[in-house]
Amino acid sequence: MDRRSFLRVGAAPAFLQTRRDRPNILFAFADNFAWAHLKPYGCEVIDTPVFDRIAREGVLFHNAHCAAPSCAPSRAAILTGQDIWRLEEGGNLHGSLPARFPVYPDLLEQSGYWVGFRGKGYAPASDAASGRPRNPAGPRFSSFDEFLARRPKGRPFCFWHGNQYRNMLGKPVDRTGVRLDRLRVPAFLPECDALRTDFYHYFQRLRAYEAELAEMAAALERAGELDNTILVAASDNGFDFPRGYPNLYEFGTRMLLAIRWPHGARGGRTVDDFVKLPDLAPTFLEAAGVPVPADMNARSLLPLLTSRRSGHIDPARSFAVTGRERHAMARRDHSGYPMRAIRTARYLYVRNYRPERWPAGDPDFAHYTQGVYGDIDRCETKWYIYNNRQDPKIRPFFELAFARRPAEELYDVRKDPDNVRNVAGDPRYAADLARISAQLTAHLRASGDPRETGRPARWDEYPYHAAYWQNDAQRKQK
């Protein structure tokens, strides 16, 4: 059956069917996409029939968040089922994930699973510095088809598909299939030609991810494995626009997440509980009958997947806590911008531990590939805002993206879904601010965050393993 057939044929539901076979796992990971830009979440800019089907026949999560809005830390948290502040240098971009932290692909492999990945695994980071013989996502394959062809007969599999982000700055604009007139522009971005160019590129990348989903789903259907596969479609962190990733605002941490598994999860439902991508690790292990390591502080999603209900299911899942340490090498002293945040149904509270630093990177220090303010990826919109920062109409956007921030930020997300009006200093919110701040502190202490326990917070000291940085350091030593 080809990919077109997958779009036409509906799956015969077999809810909670008893099977001796352990489920396969296909984790299809998108690179740098926010939740807001697919049809099941209310966006009509492009057609996404494959993601739509996964959401329609599976479970769609409305309040999924990454652990960190930065590629490698987010992926490290997913692989280990832990928060980034528990992973030492694994909490940094271009860091490493020490081998003493178990990862779910290894545990599944030890239990008999055929494992592998293609594209972007745990990255950008150093596998060698981690003390691991391979990428934590598993052995690398050139394609999903190769992985399936080499699978030993009868073995369940776990595959990580890493959709690969490519910077499109300066590339020709392709408007095919993109109805940009239907886009709601977030309040922190200026409506301009530069933004439209970036969004055309962004949606073409999203269409490419959709095509990859279609190819893999069709391959599963041809193999007769589609309905016994936990098919997960998700992104690693928010979109690559100013005030998107690596910030702890909504467009930095809130993720697309849909899970289809007819033999184990009752589909056709939406879940409003707050979940985090690291929850996938114990979910996969539990579904496979593999013991979950005690150090995995994430929580399995199986109770939500097997529930008959929609909406808010588990009262304990009423918030999500996220964090950030060093992203790019964007400051002259090689430091990061440490942050923690808690998102509830009404509020987003952000704690900036070093408010004297520039959150987007130093204005007078050029990152090797991203330029000044190097924690913001280079794109037309970044340079439009930067080059027009003295224009009174553009200045507010510049302040939101580039300016220093106070130690505390509080956003009433029901009134301010784009997180642009900080009400932390408003006396009407004083009681709620104190309550949610205490809630965040208690959670961080309970989960062992050095930023709150008094243990050394060493993220600024850990090596930065980007090849360009290492090569530059070697040249300076000569």
* Count: domains in the chain: 2
Q: What is the pLDDT of residues 440-462, one digit of tens each?
A: 999 999 999 999 999 999 999 99
Residue 156 and residue 240 in one domain: yes
Residue 468's pLDDT band, with cuts at 50, 70 and 90, is: low
pTM: 0.94
Q: What is the pLDDT of residue 208?
A: 93
Residue 340 and residue 353 in one domain: yes
Residue 188's pLDDT band, with cuts at 50, 70 and 90, is: very high
- Residue 478: exposed, middle, or buried by beta-carbon count in 10 A (0-12, 13-18, 19+)? exposed
Q: What is the pLDDT of residue 17?
A: 37
Chosen domain end from 252, 286, 318: 318
Residue 341 and residue 258 in one domain: no
Between CA 183 and CA 147 the distance in angstroms is: 38
Average pLDDT taken over every residue of the chain: 93
Residue 258 has pLDDT above 70, yes or no: yes
Range(s) of the domain holding residue 310: 22-318
Residue 186 within any structural domain of the chain: yes
Chosen domain end from 318, 342, 366: 318
Q: What is the pLDDT of residue 469?
A: 63
Q: What is the pLDDT of residue 12?
A: 31
For the domain that residue 164 is a member of, what is the CATH number? 3.40.720.10
Residue 111 has pLDDT above 90, yes or no: yes
Q: Evaluate whether 52 touches 187 at the Cβ level (below 8 Å).
A: no
In terms of pLDDT, which residue wins out, 305 or 167? 305
Chosen domain end from 318, 348, 369: 318
SS3 state of residue 265? coil
Residue 230 and residue 369 in one domain: no
Mean pLDDT confidence for 398-423: 99
* Dihedral sign for Cα atoms in the order 250, 251, 253, 258: positive
Residue 467 within any structural domain of the chain: no
Q: What percent of the chain has pLDDT over 70?
A: 93
Q: What is the pLDDT of residue 470?
A: 53
Q: What is the pLDDT of residue 467?
A: 77
Q: What percent of the chain has pLDDT over 90?
A: 89
Residue 5 within any structural domain of the chain: no
Mean pLDDT confidence for 380-401: 98
Q: What is the pLDDT of residues 118-142, one digit of tens each?
A: 999 999 999 999 999 999 999 999 9
Between CA 229 and CA 384 the distance in angstroms is: 45
Residue 306 and residue 354 in one domain: no
Residue 176 within any structural domain of the chain: yes
Between CA 285 and CA 283 the distance in angstroms is: 6
Q: Is the peptide bond before 124 cis (omega within 30 degrees of 0)?
A: yes
Q: Evaluate whether 375 touches 328 at the Cβ level (below 8 Å).
A: yes
Residue 149 and residue 268 in one domain: yes
Residue 344 within any structural domain of the chain: yes
Mean pLDDT confidence for 177-195: 97
Residue 11 within any structural domain of the chain: no
Residue 356's pLDDT band, with cuts at 50, 70 and 90, is: very high
Residue 63 has pLDDT above 90, yes or no: yes
Q: Evaluate whether 349 touches 416 at the Cβ level (below 8 Å).
A: no
Residue 371's pLDDT band, with cuts at 50, 70 and 90, is: confident
Tokens of 284: 């996969």
Residue 473 has pLDDT above 70, yes or no: no
Q: What is the pLDDT of residue 14?
A: 41
Between CA 182 and CA 172 the distance in angstroms is: 22
Nearest to residue 304, comparing CAs of 249, 264, 246?
Answer: 264
Residue 334 and residue 221 in one domain: no
Q: What is the pLDDT of residue 164?
A: 80
Residue 181 within any structural domain of the chain: yes
